[in-house]
Amino acid sequence: MLTCLALLLLNAGCVRTLVNRRLDRPDRYTIVRDQLVIHCDFEVPARHRLLDELTARREDLRRELAYASSEEPIHVYLFEDANRFKEFVREEHPGFPNRRAFFVESDTRLEVYAHWGGYVGEDLRHEVTHAYLHSVLPDIPLWLDEGLAEYFEVPRGRHGLNRDHLVRILARDDATAADSSSARPPRERLYRLPNLARLESLDSEQVLPQDDYAECWAWVHFLLESSTETKTLLREYLYRLHVDGSTVPLSSRMAWRLGLTADQLADRMAEHILETARSAGFTDSAGGAPAREERPDTLGSSDVQ
């Protein structure tokens, strides 16, 4: 097909115009909001509340994770039309799976691509979180990158309570999973035994199943929401990662600093999640896996998330 197009280009200038337009990124309008440079072909008010929220996310991340923010621009390409977005992805990145949005990191640019559909808020909060993180922490491990993106994709003011993941992480074959009177250890009342060391060992190019996304989110929710002690541990870990590029895995750091075995750490995390479920009004999880649309997310490449 490319050969055919090349031959046509020699004979018909209009074909060149057509081909170029199909491959172009949106660029008619540009809105600069701090680190974000938003490109689109349709009018979005510069003070749109979604853009306000995305801009504020930068400060949320800086405050919660206590790192120095970057000034590196993040280019956000917003397509108005889903079909044009799909066509662009198919032609520019033919190896990518079919997703609603994605983040691409190269040596020189941070880019987010999305279309203005019904999930654009969730999609942009997720992908822009990846971009903010990578502007400061290019070596962030996959599990933490995705866990933070899942936490911060939730609208502001909800403390990262991702209800889809909460539904998924409760044991699906046991209606008493969230019952505090159960004699089973907390870690055995989730959908599977939590294992942070396993998540830490995942290849950064791996495509995560939804169950892994849920566990990544759960560990991040535990770190940020269960105690000042765990939040401080996360901040210290990120600081070392920022300064040194790599550091002792967080599971080892936590076990040592908190004086816990791996099972005790899993119990601590599971207790937090079960309490979070009870507070959120979840009493059981007998309904099986949640009916959740497949998320746009990590695209199976170290520089695409």
Binding site for Zn ion (CB under 5 A): 146, 149, 297-298, 305
Q: What are 40's strand-pairing partners?
A: 29, 78
Residue whose CB is less far from Zn ion, 145 or 174: 145
Nearer to Zn ion, 148 or 224 (CB): 148
CB of 170 to Zn ion, least distance (A): 22
Q: Which is nearer to Zn ion, 146 or 267 (by Cβ)?
A: 146
Longest Cα–Cα distance in the chain: 78
Q: Any idea what the Cα angle at residue 107 is, between residues 106 and 109, rounded to 5°?
A: 60
Q: CB-wise, 27 or 139, nearer to Zn ion?
A: 139
Query: Please, what is the minimum distance in Å from the beta carbon of residue 134 to Zn ion?
Result: 11
The crossing angle, in degrees rounded to 10, of helices 49-65 and 120-136 is 40
Nearer to Zn ion, 267 or 297 (CB): 297
The minimum distance between CB 103 and Zn ion, in angstroms, equals 7
Nearer to Zn ion, 105 or 297 (CB): 297
Beta pairing partners, 31: 38
User: How far does the chain reach from its first CA to its final CA, in angstroms?
Assistant: 29
User: What distance in Å separates the CA atoms of residue 130 and residue 51, rounded to the nearest whole number?
Assistant: 16
Cα-based distances in Å from 165 to 42, 65, 170, 267: 33, 22, 9, 18
* Residue nearest to Zn ion as judged by C-beta position: 297
Alpha-carbon span 259 to 256, nearest angstrom: 5
**Minimal distance in Å, beta carbon 211 to Zn ion?**
15
What type of residue is 18? L
What's the closest the beta carbon of residue 238 comes to Zn ion, in angstroms? 17
Question: Cβ closer to Zn ion: 276 or 305?
Answer: 305
Cβ atoms 24, 79 nearer than 8 A? no
User: Smallest distance from the beta carbon of 14 to Zn ion, in angstroms?
Assistant: 40
* Residue 197 Cβ vs Zn ion, minimum distance, rounded to whole Å: 21
- Cβ proximity to Zn ion, 71 vs 293, nearer residue: 293
Facing residues of 39 across strands? 30, 77
Bin 135: left if φ > 0, else alpha if -120 < ψ < 50, else beta. alpha
**Which residues, in sequence order, are CB contacts of 215 under 8 Å at separation 6+?**
169, 192, 194, 195, 199
User: What is the smallest separation between the CB atom of 208 and Zn ion, expressed in angstroms?
Assistant: 9
**Residue 204 CA, distance from chain mean position:** 14
Contact criterion met (CB below 8 Å) for 22 and 87: yes
Q: What is the number of residues in the chain?
A: 305
